[in-house]
Amino acid sequence: MESEQANTTPGEIKDYGDLPTELDLPPEYCHYRDGGCEFADSCLNCPFPRCIYDQPGGKQRWLKQARDREMARLFTTEGKAVKELALMFGVSQRTVQRVLKNCLSNSSLQREDKKRGD
C-alpha cells in the first residue's frame, strides 16, 4: 500500500475497488475559493482576528454586541431616554434596560479594575 502511494503524482485519480474514486490532491495543488463575506472581500483581508462564523453565535452575536455598544453610547454620551432607544432600535424598553444594565456594569467594573491597578 505504501509503495502504491509513493508512486502516485499530485492530482492522480486513485482506484480503491468499490469505493468512489476522487482526486487526492495535496493542499498546494488545491484552489480554494475565497469569496469572503459581507465584512471583507476575502478572508485574507478580514478585519477580525478570528472569523465570526467560526465563533459560537457567529454574525448574529457580533451584530447584537455592536447594537448593545451603540445603545450604551447613545445613552451615556447623548442622553437618549430608554423609550427613545427602544423606538430607534426596534426593541422593547425592557431589552434596552437589560442592555444598559449589562454594558454599564461591565464598564464600571473595568474602570474599578484600572483604578486598582494604578
Question: So what's the pLDDT on residue 73?
Answer: 94
Start-to-end Cα distance in the chain: 65
Which pTM does this prediction carry?
0.59
- Burial classification of residue 70, based on how many CB atoms lie within 10 Å of its CB (0-12 exposed, 13-18 middle, 19 or more buried): middle
The ranges assigned to domains in the chain are 57-117
User: What is the four-CA torsion angle of 108, 109, 112, 114, rounded to 10 degrees?
Assistant: -100
Point out the residues of the chain with pLDDT beneath 70.
1-23, 25-27, 107-118
C-alpha cell belonging to residue 11:
492530482
